[in-house]
Structure 1
Amino acid sequence: MDLIDLIQWPAMAASLAAAWLVASASERRRAYGFWVFLLSNVLWVVWGVHTSGWALVALQLGLAAMNIRGLKKNDIEGAG
């Protein structure tokens, strides 16, 4: 087993932690959640490229775009 194969475990943990944070009523926790989701997107892309999981890579790029949108919306809601 390559060490890069182990990336799937922190990616999974980051995804779960991010989902927990994004569901928070706290704007600050939601913002952290979107950043943690972006970290998980990067980890999943690295693992997906390593395993030639191109559908996973495409999914993570789409989800990263949604997480960036979530960060922006969370910031706008906090400013108003």
Structure 2
Amino acid sequence: MDWLDAIQWPAMAVTLLAGWLVGAKSPAKRLWGFWIFVLSNFLWIVWGWHTQAYALIALQVGLFLMNLRGIRKNDQDASR
């Protein structure tokens, strides 16, 4: 199997881990969750490019922007 085909599995695992962390009460864990989501966005984009799944790439770009918003808002909430 091509290693690019296999990227979908770590991308899925990273996405689940990020979702778990974003749901935490701790601002530090939430921040880690958003950054891990950014990693998952990158992994999904790589896999989407390889498989020519352009709608998935567009989705991941949108989610990436929302994750950056989450990082910014989490930092603002933690500083209060």
After TM superposition, the score normalised by the length of structure 1 is 0.98
- The correspondence of residues 23-62 of structure 1 with structure 2, limited to 5 A, is 23-62=23-62
**Unaligned residue ranges in structure 1 (runs of 5+):** none
- Residues matched between the structures, number: 80
**Unaligned residue ranges in structure 2 (runs of 5+):** none
TM superposition outliers: structure 1 runs of 4+ over 6 Å: none
Q: Superposition RMSD on alpha carbons, in Å? A: 0.4
Q: Residue 17 of structure 1: CA displacement?
A: 0.2
Pairing 1:66–2:41 present: no
Q: Residue 38 of structure 1: CA displacement?
A: 0.2
The one-letter amino acid paired with 1:79 is S
After TM superposition, the score normalised by the length of structure 2 is 0.98
